[in-house]
């Protein structure tokens, strides 16, 4: 009887798999083509929502597992990332786990930087985050880090010659008793 939430479900590839592994799967995304996603999903044990109505669809402390894969690096601002961090803390059950991937800031020592899509040739990441900043954000929300590392989006490309190739991921568990 486990429930999951995917942030940035897109066409529904991972969400479709989740409907076979979880009792109920939720998906949140900014696009308006939910009808196309619904036509792809095989099961009926899911709900889709926009960020603006997440609180109506996904109840507090109701989710066992939150995940996002190769999505958060496309966010347009740090405020959007912080919104999702707040939502993750809100929806996760005590003991629940989150696993997100994000664009890593390898360019400078700032907590985050944003780059305009129009200026990037490969339409890569627009939001790059410092790993220590991400870990601090989640730890402040009562999420204990289990693992935090760097992964390659395209293992055949070197992250040294193509810095936009790498991203970081963090796995956290919501504490059973939240610390304010």
- At 88-146, the pLDDT tens digits run 999 999 999 999 999 888 778 899 988 765 555 555 558 999 999 999 999 999 999 99
Residue that wins the pLDDT comparison between 119 and 3: 3
Contact call for residues 127 and 73 (beta carbons, < 8 A): yes
Q: At what angle do helices 131-140 and 78-91 cross, to 10 degrees?
A: 40
Residue 180 in tokens? 């304010």
Per-residue tokens: 77 = 């601002």
The pTM for the full model equals: 0.89
The H or E element spanning position 18 is helix 13-21
Closest listed residue to residue 14, CA positions, set 99, 94, 117, 95: 99
Q: What is the pLDDT of residues 37-58, one digit of tens each?
A: 999 999 999 999 999 999 999 9
């Amino acid at each position: 009887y486990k429930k999951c939430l995917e942030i940035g479900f897109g066409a529904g590839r991972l969400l479709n798999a989740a409907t076979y592994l979880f009792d109920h799967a939720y998906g949140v995304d900014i696009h308006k083509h939910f009808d196309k996603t619904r036509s792809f999903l095989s099961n009926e044990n899911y709900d889709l929502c926009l960020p603006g109505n997440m609180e109506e669809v996904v109840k507090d402390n109701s989710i066992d597992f939150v995940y996002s894969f190769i999505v958060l690096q496309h966010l347009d601002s740090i405020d959007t990332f912080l919104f999702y961090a707040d939502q993750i803390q809100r929806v996760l059950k005590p003991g629940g786990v989150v696993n997100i991937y994000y664009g890593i800031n390898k360019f400078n020592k700032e907590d985050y930087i944003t780059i305009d899509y129009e200026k990037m040739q490969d339409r890569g990441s627009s939001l790059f985050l410092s790993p220590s900043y991400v870990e601090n954000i989640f730890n402040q929300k009562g999420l204990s880090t289990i693992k935090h590392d760097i992964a390659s989006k395209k293992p055949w490309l070197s992250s040294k010659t193509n810095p936009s190739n790498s991203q970081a991921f963090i796995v956290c568990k919501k504490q059973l008793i939240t610390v304010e």
